[in-house]
């Protein structure tokens, strides 16, 4: 399942450079996560970097974008052709 950024976001920008998939960008009012790029950090890290970084816990699972771990890994492979995913 992709992550999303809630209205709690204070637009500090701390999460943006942490995303291994460049899925996070500045939106009109709060930062936003592209669900087509978010892999929950599967393929790169053991846990979701944006959620760990956010000072106000605004990065939360997006219930509208649920995917299996296998699907998330496939998404990561498409985003990083030729690279080897982290274990
Ligand atoms: Fe990026 Fe990981 Fe956050 Fe998804 S969970 S937006 S891949 S940092």
Residue 21 contacts residue 76 (beta carbons within 8 Å): yes
Residue 15 CA, closest ligand 1 atom number? 8
> Residue 72 belongs to what H/E stretch?
helix 69-79
The mean pLDDT value of the chain amounts to 96
Task: Say what the pLDDT of residue 52 is.
Answer: 98
> At 14, is the pLDDT very low, low, confident or very high (cuts 50, 70, 90)?
very high
DSSP at 86: P
- pTM given for the model: 0.93
Burial class (CB in 10 A: 0-12, 13-18, 19+), 56: exposed
Whether 31 lines ligand 1, by a CB cut-off of 6 Å, is no
Q: How close is the Cα of 35 to the center of ligand 1, in Å?
A: 9
Task: Say what the pLDDT of residue 19 is.
Answer: 98
Rounded to whole angstroms, the Cα distance separating 64 from 41 reads: 17
Task: Say what the pLDDT of residue 49 is.
Answer: 98
Protein residue with its CA nearest to atom 8 in ligand 1: 19
**How many CB atoms within 10 Å of residue 15?**
24
pLDDT tens sequence across 22-57: 999 999 999 999 999 999 999 999 999 999 999 999
Protein residue with its CA nearest to atom 2 in ligand 1: 41
């Amino acid at each position: 399942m992709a992550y999303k950024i809630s209205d709690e976001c204070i637009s500090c920008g701390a999460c943006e450079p942490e995303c291994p998939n460049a899925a996070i960008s500045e939106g009109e009012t709060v930062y936003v996560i592209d669900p087509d790029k978010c892999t929950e950090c599967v393929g790169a890290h053991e846990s979701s970097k944006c959620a760990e970084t956010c000072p106000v816990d605004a990065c939360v699972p997006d219930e509208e974008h649920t995917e299996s771990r296998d699907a998330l890994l496939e998404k990561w492979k498409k985003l990083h052709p030729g690279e080897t995913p982290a274990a």
